[in-house]
């Protein structure tokens, strides 16, 4: 995680970085953000890119690993596919006239 934001107002970028680079130094890719002072949904994460980098051998920090677990739960809970995109009327069938 790379710290950005003002004093007493931390905001972090969730980044993929080489382990040898400093915390706020060079990174490979930004995959999300984290706002610790915001209540409720305080992070955004590109779950597909996180899975890709973990597949390549990246090791997330404890905090980022918890975000990935939460994003995985949200991805499983969200309906996908053509029926989900069409809305609830797609499952209702033909209208009786």
Q: Residue 68: which residues within 8 A CB-CB, separation 6 or more?
A: 45, 47, 50, 54, 60
47 neighbors 77 (Cβ within 8 angstroms): no
pTM of the model: 0.72
**Ordered strands of the 9-16 beta sheet:** 2-6, 9-16, 29-34, 43-45
- The domain segmentation of the chain, as residue ranges, is 2-78
27 neighbors 6 (Cβ within 8 angstroms): no
**Mean pLDDT confidence for 16-22:** 89
In this prediction, residue 45 has a pLDDT band, given cuts at 50, 70 and 90, of: very high
> Above 70 in pLDDT, residue 19?
yes
Question: Out of 12-16, 45-49, 65-69, 86-90, which region has the weakest mean confidence (pLDDT)?
Answer: 86-90
Helix (H), strand (E) at residue 10: strand 9-16
* Structure-model confidence comparison of residues 96 and 39, the more confident one: 39
32 CB neighbour count, 10 Å cutoff: 20
Which superfamily, per CATH, for 2-78?
Answer: Ribosomal protein S16 (3.30.1320.10)
* Structure-model confidence comparison of residues 84 and 14, the more confident one: 14
The tens digit of pLDDT for each residue in 88-97 reads: 554 455 555 4
């Amino acid at each position: 995680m790379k710290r950005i934001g003002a004093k007493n107002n931390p905001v972090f970028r969730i980044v993929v970085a080489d382990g040898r680079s400093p915390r706020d130094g060079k990174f490979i890719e930004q995959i999300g953000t984290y706002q610790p002072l915001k209540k409720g949904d305080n992070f955004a994460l590109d779950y597909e890119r996180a899975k890709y980098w973990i597949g390549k051998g990246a090791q997330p920090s404890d905090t980022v690993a918890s975000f990935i677990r939460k994003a995985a739960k949200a991805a499983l809970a969200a309906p996908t596919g053509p029926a989900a995109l069409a809305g609830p009327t797609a499952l209702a069938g033909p209208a009786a006239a």
